[in-house]
Amino acid sequence: MTKEFYKAQMVTAVLHYSFKIMTVAASALSIYLGYYLYIQGVTGEASLIVGAKDFEGQLINAAPGLFFAIGGLGTLGYSIHKSAKVFIPYPENTNDGK
């Protein structure tokens, strides 16, 4: 294997895990800020209606902190479920019979 191949693998691994760590950090921050707003008693007029084929849900007059927390949980779930797909071609044998 060539040195460039290992370097490409290392760069790919670093970028992949950096993406995962940054997404988890952003999700944790969002969840924490939502929790903080909720504990501080910040209230407001906010509503959320979610629907699908067989399901419909409605959240009326919720605190803004709840939306931060739900957004953070959604981002965290998406980050865990989805991953970056990277293709690094395997180098061919270049010994030339030597």
Mean of the per-residue pLDDT values of the chain: 79
Is residue 29, in this structure, part of any structural domain at all? yes
Is residue 76, in this structure, part of any structural domain at all? yes
Predicted confidence band at 85 (pLDDT cuts at 50, 70, 90)? Answer: low
Look up the domain containing 46 and give its range. 22-81
**pTM assigned to the model:** 0.62
Residue 70 token pair: 């739900």
For 93, counting Cβ atoms within 10 Å of its Cβ (0-12 exposed, 13-18 middle, 19+ buried), the class is exposed
Residue 29, pLDDT score: 92
Q: How far apart, in whole angstroms, are the C-alpha atoms of residue 74 and residue 25? A: 13
Is residue 64, in this structure, part of any structural domain at all? yes
Position 47 pLDDT exceeds 80:
no
What number is the average pLDDT over the span 52-72? 80
Sign of the C-alpha dihedral computed for residues 66, 68, 71 and 75 taken in this order? negative
Position 92 pLDDT exceeds 80:
no
Predicted confidence band at 1 (pLDDT cuts at 50, 70, 90)? Answer: low
